[in-house]
Structure 1
Amino acid sequence: MSSKPPEGLPAPADGGLPATALAELPLRPLGVYIHVPYCASRCGYCDFNTYTASELGGGTSAATYAATAIEEIRLAARVLGPGAPPVDTVFFGGGTPTLLPPADLAALLAAVDETFGLRPGAEVTTEANPESVDAASLEQLRAAGFTRVSFGMQSARPHVLAALDRRHTPGRLPDVVCWARKAGFDQVSVDLIYGAPGESDRDWAASLEGALELAPDHVSAYALTVEDGTKLARRVRRGELLEPDDDLLADRYLQADETLTAAGLSAYEVSNWATGPSAWCRHNLGYWRGGGWWGVGPGAHSHVGGVRWWNVRHPSEYGDRLRAGQSPARAREVLDPRERQLERVMLGVRLAEGLPLAELTPAGAAALDELVGSGLVAPEGLADGRVRLTRDGRLLTDTVVRALLSDL
């Protein structure tokens, strides 16, 4: 939901897709992403397509959002047609999805089930800020069919949370995780951010230990980035805060990997650790493996069979289009074979399972000797026919990708 979508080509008013794209639908798992664009307040580092009540003005309100988004779910079913497989994963992101009442989230999930069908054992995730849920709401979500919850922890230190403009206190996390476990969620994940202004080595160590004390099934850890147009970027530009240092971020990453690995979680993707394959986020794996998904909501992105499109950003325009019987898609692009190969390499190399050697051009394969010699690619992976990054390689993923794509 970045603030800078590409320009793209005009999207059809009815949302229709080429027959070649639809023909690929049965070949891969299908996911649905539901974007809930509301937040109680805006975090200083965030450039996602989200709105507070004061920013929305006369736009579509949270009270009517579920009914509006259900119209897009029905549109998706018409566009994808009878060839669409049952949905394998549903992911509610934002924004803060749990600002909506549990009944609204349940209605959205029920609409997906009614229009597409949910595959048996489907993974259904919601993101949640710790202050936006309680024991009762989590019980309602679990009863509605949600199987996984991802809490935005970010840090265990109050001054770091304050630097990020987060509203919750560290003491809230043990409570919400306990409530989620009691409600019966299959998987509990926590998100962390490292490199915030004022964060020390000791602070980051405390955040990692605090996360592990929650006994999560899954941990995501991301380096803080300074995005244009954010409050954080303005403060850095004015000299009030220092931009995160690349060497410090690398040290923080290594610290995370060492700590999490020692505790029994392993990295299955560059920024994601889990207790085992059953705890991997299947929805995100769909993105990384080039699967199909329909993104519902303002600014949401979708991909089916090499066609990628993105919705208009403001909730008001989004609702107006759907009420007029039109697709909310603002623009789209049709990827050619070269572009699809580029994406397979860029995303596949991030996974611990590795990238099949067959995806490389002769020039890309020729670069492997130097990458192995530099300690960025694991030689044992090549024997299995896959490109797998070492820990150092994960720090320099972009360098590896550039080498593998030098002739494309």
Structure 2
Amino acid sequence: MAPGTRDFRRANAAMVLAAFATFASLYSVQPLLPILAADFGLDAGASSLSLSVTTATLAVALLLASWVADRAGRKTLMVWAMLATALLGLALPFVPNWTSLLVIRTLMGLTLSGLPAVAMVYLAEEMSPDALGFSMGLYIGGTAAGGMAGRLLSGIVADLAGWRTSLAVLGAIILAVAVVFAALLPAPKNSARNRLSFRGFVANVAVQFTDKGLPWLFLSSFLLMGAFVTLYNYAGFRLAQPPFGLSHTAISAIFVVYLLGSVSSAWAGALSTRLGRRHVYWWMVAIMAAGVALTLAPSTPLIIAGLAIASIGFFAAHGIASAWVARRALVGRAQASAIYLFMYYVGSSLLGTLGGYAWVAWGWNGVMLVTGGAMVVALAVAVRLIFVQPIPLPEKPPAPPAGV
């Protein structure tokens, strides 16, 4: 799809809407963590499980979803995944206890995997090379906007009418978006169905780790997402306490800074097309690290500024890395993107939960120990990627490994 064409516009609009709905659903519970902790009698670490069980299940399901997508078709999987997510979201407000809530959030991890496992591959296969950086950045921007809107909406409505009502409203919105997405997205033309055997699937996964650059990108995904989620998970707990004392609505409003991430991802994607990913990526990681460090300040405006800067750097880096993985993987592109996202959500689950217990033990200094440590390693990895030899892209992908 070339820039300016009808299919290009439809595909980008559909993918932004899908990203918006998926990530609004995924992160809608994040600003509710203090409310859920109070309602169910939990500490910060336990309440964070409402997010961590979803991201952990999502991480594992992504690998299998990439296999299903090769067999069932890209668009088919994405549409059904979004519809199932919406239905589970509509059931969530009616849970009778904490265990039921965790069960539904775990099932949502399975259904949510259908879109991110395939979206980056769809764009890499369908977009022309000069359009991929922009389209991938736009998609990442949609994830940022969805994450922001889901958090903002759920927090504000929960303050006015309770967390159950807030999740019901969000579920209805996601269902409407899913229907529009199904009608708008062009059918893929460059991704013929491939009935990949399980042996072939395993071979496609294994071959990604023979590349000199992909494992470093996978590690970056783990570190950056883990640091980012930990930062936002417990910023709400900190800002709700003295001397800040912000309301749930005010804390939710802070997620508006995600819009900066929407802009930065598209901008960085276009910039990396001109200057090269390896030369732009490490600067975006450095910007995120600077924002994380700024949140140490005992000032509400400086904390919000730190969150904003961290968001700009994170979404820009994530957008570049996503396109980098999709282009660098010459065999098993769906599996390469799935591994990247697997590490992304494993980082979210492990570091996000670890940060909760660090918060209970040492307050914000404990959160910074987890987040800051991850950023130091992520910056070292980003610098290492500068020296990874680029792979020339053939006109046609090579033959898949044995077992297909």
Query: After TM superposition, is the score higher than 0.5?
Result: no
Higher strand share: 1
- Could you say which structure has the greater relative contact order, defined with CA pairs below 8 angstroms and 6 or more residues apart? 2
Higher helix share: 2
Which is greater in Rg? 1
